[in-house]
Amino acid sequence: MNTTNDSIFNYKMKDIDGKEVSLDKYKGKVILVVNVASKCGYTPQYEGLQNLYEKYKDDGLVILGFPANNFNGQEPGSDEEIKQFCTLNYGVEFPMFSKVSVKGEDQSKLFTYLTQAQNPDFTGEIKWNFEKFLIDKEGNLMRRFRSDVKPESDEIVTAVSEAL
């Protein structure tokens, strides 16, 4: 399973344009990983995520969006359609990745790690779209937030500020 020296930086993922990205390129940054979907009740959180990114990107925050179709088929589009949707509707500028599975037998190894890594909040499978994983500058999971915790909530803003 995961070893004590495992971190998000050990993973490579394809970005929304199909290019392989080693997540160690984000070393030294605070990372908010979010499993996203275009047809979800929480989809308007893209706006909050973009606002959070704009507010803190110069301080070292990066948000990584991972589209997933695991919940009621709420992300049916291709990577190209997802990219267009996020850009046109929400002006998303933070890095977006290729669609992945965040639970079940075909779960992405990154999300296996994130859902099992120890943190003060909770472990276990993702329950819905827009769960958030806050990663410190060394690549360790610091905090985890359920879907209903908005990106601009005091809880997330405080955690991000402290991590920076």
Active centre residues (catalytic): 40
What Cα–Cα distance (Å) separates residue 103 from each residue in 1, 35, 43, 84, 129?
A: 16, 11, 19, 25, 11
- Please state the φ and ψ torsions of residue 98, each to the nearest 5 degrees: -65, 150
Do the beta carbons of residue 84 and residue 114 sit within 8 Å? no
CA proximity to 102, closest of 8, 16, 37: 37
